[in-house]
Amino acid sequence: MKLHHLPGYIQSIYLVEYPNGLMLLDGCTRADVDTLKAFIINELNRPFTDLKTVMVTHMHPDHAGAAHELRRLTGCKIVSADAEHSWYKGVSGWLMYLTDITLARWVAGRLGRQRKSLWYAKTLKPDIKLTDKQVIPGFDEWCVFETPGHTDRDLSIMHMPSRRMYVADLVVKVKKRFIPPFPVFFPELYGHSVERLIDIQPHSLLLAHGGEVQLNDEDYAHLRLCVPKGPQTPWRFVKGKVKRALKIKKAR
């Protein structure tokens, strides 16, 4: 097994290589399709159709955005969590979808990226749905773990022989510290996922934002202390900002 780490549009891309096929550990952004295609064809000297599986750990633009397009181009299988409904269901889901694309564009701007389209299907149509501790078909060295909290359907993916674990947005690295992501929709579930990660003790973590890292006991203790007490979402953040602004205005 070879694991290739590529710089994506706003996140890391992790591509798993075996003689019999390639697996993408997350669905990237729509803007990453050409980057991935060029790497497979020009660097690996393999046909693009050798991409057999695309994992989707959750539905945000930098994790699901390229999945459907990659399937259309390569015939690969999309694998995701066994969720009961679309993450972006209903009117509130549509608003959240627009918010997430706006946030992704903001990150791209902060990183100095050229503006590209990030639109993608807000409802995922996976070929295979997996539940906790199931092995990925065709890549039986890899196992999925349910680690919700960031959203309701987050998956982490471990290479069992090496105990290297792709955790998507379960952990982010900011100023050399490891902290929860933003948003955290389900803080209680997130806390359980952090405890589970500590129990599993992977050899290393593959972060969607931060590369491959190794956490020590102090890092895990800090992460545990940072678990939010309540939901941390864009809407709550804006609501809090407005309330604080109104209080300042009244005080004047």
Sheet arrangement for strand 12-18? 2-7, 12-18, 21-24, 51-56, 77-81, 128-130
242 compared with 65, residue with greater pLDDT: 65
Nearest to 50 by CA among 156, 138, 121, 143: 138
CB hemisphere CA count around 99 (13 angstroms):
15
Q: Is the pLDDT of residue 125 over 60?
A: yes
Tell me the pLDDT tens digit for each residue of 12-43.
Answer: 999 999 999 999 999 999 999 999 999 999 99
Rounded-to-integer distance, Cα 123 and Cα 175, Å: 34
Q: Is the pLDDT of residue 163 over 70?
A: yes
What is the residue extent of each domain of the chain?
A: 2-225
Contact (Cβ atoms closer than 8 angstroms) between residue 204 and residue 164 = yes
Buried-state track 79-114, b at ≥16 Cβ within 10 A, e below 16: bbbebeeebbeeeebeebbeebbebbbebbeeeeee
Nearest to 126 by CA among 81, 72, 79, 86: 79
pTM reported for the whole predicted model: 0.93
Q: What percent of the chain has pLDDT over 90?
A: 91
Rounded-to-integer distance, Cα 45 and Cα 193, Å: 39
Q: Is the pLDDT of residue 7 over 50?
A: yes
Label the pairing between strands 204-207 and 164-168: parallel
Mean pLDDT (the chain, rounded):
94
Tell me the pLDDT tens digit for each residue of 194-227.
Answer: 999 999 999 999 999 999 999 999 999 999 999 9
Question: Which pLDDT score, from 0 to 100, does residue 234 have?
Answer: 76
For residue 241, CA distances in Å to 57, 234, 245, 250, 252 come to 30, 11, 6, 14, 17
Per CATH, is 2-225 categorized as 3.60.15.10?
yes
Question: Which pLDDT score, from 0 to 100, does residue 5 have?
Answer: 98
Residue appearing with tokens 């992501």: 181
Q: Is the pLDDT of residue 251 over 70?
A: no
Choose the weakest-confidence range: 75-84, 178-187, 231-240. Answer: 231-240
160 compared with 237, residue with greater pLDDT: 160
For residue 213, CA distances in Å to 30, 46, 132 come to 26, 29, 24
Count of residues making up the chain: 252
Residue appearing with tokens 């509130």: 92
